[in-house]
């Protein structure tokens, strides 16, 4: 349920919040340009709607029909813009996250960091921990990789992000990076979602390979319900009958997400295609559809990468991609 206030002062917001808390529900305040909305999260049957309507400053009381309350546009009509060290995700400027699939060495990461920054990326990606299908595959270099990421940030000024796979890693990863990534395999790892929900840093949440939009947004709700509203959704595609396309990005899903939620939505053309030759056209399409940015894998020598070499662009290909999406962005009133 949402209580819409017009010209509400601090005292009025506190009064209504206390009314909600007295009934055992949790108030969440969202301030817009013209109105303030207080979301009452919990068993709405305990609230007296007519009494709430009679309180000073209340314009109307509206039930939230979507099961995802905090993530819904009903609760927060305006787009959420998440700021990461001066970089905006969700605004007019597109956020481009780029870097290798995994941190292999200091030399490798810093070389790529300089290359993607020169081409226009604003955030550096790189996994220190790798969830792999086979237990015998390269699993990442752990905390040493986090230290290398931090050094790359110091040298280039790029913000950094990495994947966190386990509740026991959250505290350590938070010390090093600016954005915590939840991969597709962990979209419904609810204990992990709740743990990153307690952190005061942005969380990049990828959809599971067989998840519905509702399940995806409910995963975001887990994070937000713990107090962390800085959630970036990442559309990385879903499993289909077409093995050549790996995890296709469904046409229209990014736009639908933008209609249903106020959270920023970016697209992952690397994991969705699994094919270097398809990354640029899929990136162009994602920007044209309204994505707020991309997360793209880039490696100086993909054929020698320790994992996922087939889906990583070279720095030269990444620069070409940036030039092409700039033209698309300009056509729809966005900037890169």
The DSSP secondary structure of 172-234, one letter per residue, reads: HHHHH-SEEEE-GGGTT-HHHHHHHTTSSS-EEEEPPTT--HHHHHHHHHHHHHTT---EEEE
- Contact, 264 vs 233, CB < 8 A? yes
What integer is the mean pLDDT of 285-305? 96
Owner of token pair 């690397």? 270
Residue 265's nearest CA partner among 253, 276, 251, 254 is: 254
Q: Assess whether pLDDT exceeds 80 at residue 116.
A: yes
Model pLDDT for residues 10-69, shown as the tens digit of each residue: 888 998 999 899 999 999 888 877 788 898 988 888 888 898 898 888 999 988 888 899
CA–CA distance, 328 with 321 (Å, rounded to integer): 11
pLDDT at res. 18: 92
- pLDDT higher than 80, residue 129: yes
- At 185-195, the pLDDT tens digits run 999 999 999 99
Q: What is the mean pLDDT of the chain?
A: 93
Domains contained in the chain, CATH given: 2-62 (3.30.70.1140), 82-331 (3.20.20.70)
CB 263: neighbour CB atoms within 10 A?
28
Report in angstroms the alpha-carbon separations of 104 from 119, 132, 174, 333: 22, 15, 20, 38
As separate numbers, helices (DSSP H) first and strands (DSSP E) second, the chain gives 11, 14
The DSSP 8-state label assigned to residue 241 in this structure reads S
Region of 158 on the Ramachandran plot (φ > 0 left; ψ -120 to 50 alpha; else beta)? beta
Question: pLDDT value at position 132?
Answer: 66
Lowest pLDDT segment from 166-180, 188-202, 223-237, 238-252: 238-252
The answer to whether 36 and 75 have CB atoms below 8 angstroms apart is no
**Residue 136: pLDDT above 70?**
no
**Percent residues over pLDDT 90 in the chain:** 74
How does pLDDT run across 238-282, given as a tens digit for each residue? Answer: 998 888 888 999 889 999 999 999 999 999 999 999 999 999 999
- Give per-residue pLDDT as tens, 59-114: 999 888 888 999 999 888 899 999 999 999 999 999 999 999 999 999 999 999 99
Q: Which two tokens stand for residue 263?
A: 């959270």
Q: Where are the beta strands (DSSP E) in the chain?
A: 2-6, 26-31, 35-41, 58-62, 82-84, 87-89, 95-99, 123-125, 159-163, 179-182, 203-206, 231-235, 265-267, 293-297
Per-residue pLDDT, 135: 72
Over its C-alpha atoms, the chain yields an Rg (Å, rounded) of 21
Average pLDDT over residues 199-218: 96
Mean pLDDT, residues 119-129 taken together: 95
Token pair of 237 as six digits: 């595609």
**Residues in the chain, total:** 336
Q: Which residues pair with 99 in a beta bridge?
A: 297
CA 296 to chain centre: 14
The single residue listed with the structure tokens 């398809």 is: 278
């Amino acid at each position: 349920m949402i209580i819409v206030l017009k010209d509400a002062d601090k005292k009025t917001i506190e009064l209504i919040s206390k009314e909600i808390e007295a009934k055992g529900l949790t108030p969440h305040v969202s301030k817009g340009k013209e109105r303030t909305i207080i979301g009452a999260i919990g068993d709405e049957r305990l609230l007296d709607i007519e009494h709430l309507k009679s309180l000073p400053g209340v314009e109307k009381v509206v039930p939230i029909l979507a099961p995802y309350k905090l993530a819904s546009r009903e609760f927060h009509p305006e787009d959420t813009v998440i700021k990461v060290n001066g970089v905006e995700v969700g605004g007019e400027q597109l956020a481009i996250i780029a870097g290798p699939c995994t941190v292999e060495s200091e030399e490798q990461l810093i070389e790529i960091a300089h290359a993607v920054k020169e081409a226009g990326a604003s955030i550096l990606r790189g996994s220190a921990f790798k969830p792999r299908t086979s237990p015998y595959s390269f699993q990442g270099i752990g905390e040493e990789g986090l230290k290398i990421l931090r050094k790359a940030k110091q040298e280039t000024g790029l913000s950094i992000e990495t994947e966190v796979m386990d509740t026991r890693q959250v505290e350590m990863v938070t010390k090093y990076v600016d954005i915590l990534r939840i991969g597709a395999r962990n979209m419904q790892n609810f204990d992990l979602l709740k743990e990153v929900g307690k952190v005061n840093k942005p969380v990049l949440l990828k959809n599971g390979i067989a998840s519905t939009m509702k399940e995806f947004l409910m995963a975001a709700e887990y994070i937000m319900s713990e107090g962390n509203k800085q959630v970036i959704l990442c559309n990385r595609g879903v499993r289909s009958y077409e093995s050549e396309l790996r995890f296709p990005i469904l046409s229209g899903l990014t736009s639908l997400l933008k209609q249903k939620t106020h959270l920023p939505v970016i697209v992952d053309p690397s994991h969705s295609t699994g094919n270097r030759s398809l990354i640029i056209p899929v990136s162009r399409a994602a920007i044209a559809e309204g994505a707020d940015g991309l997360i793209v894998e880039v490696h100086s020598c993909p054929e020698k990468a320790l994992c996922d070499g087939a889906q990583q662009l070279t720095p030269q290909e990444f620069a070409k991609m940036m030039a092409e999406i700039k033209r698309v962005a300009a056509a729809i009133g966005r900037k890169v």
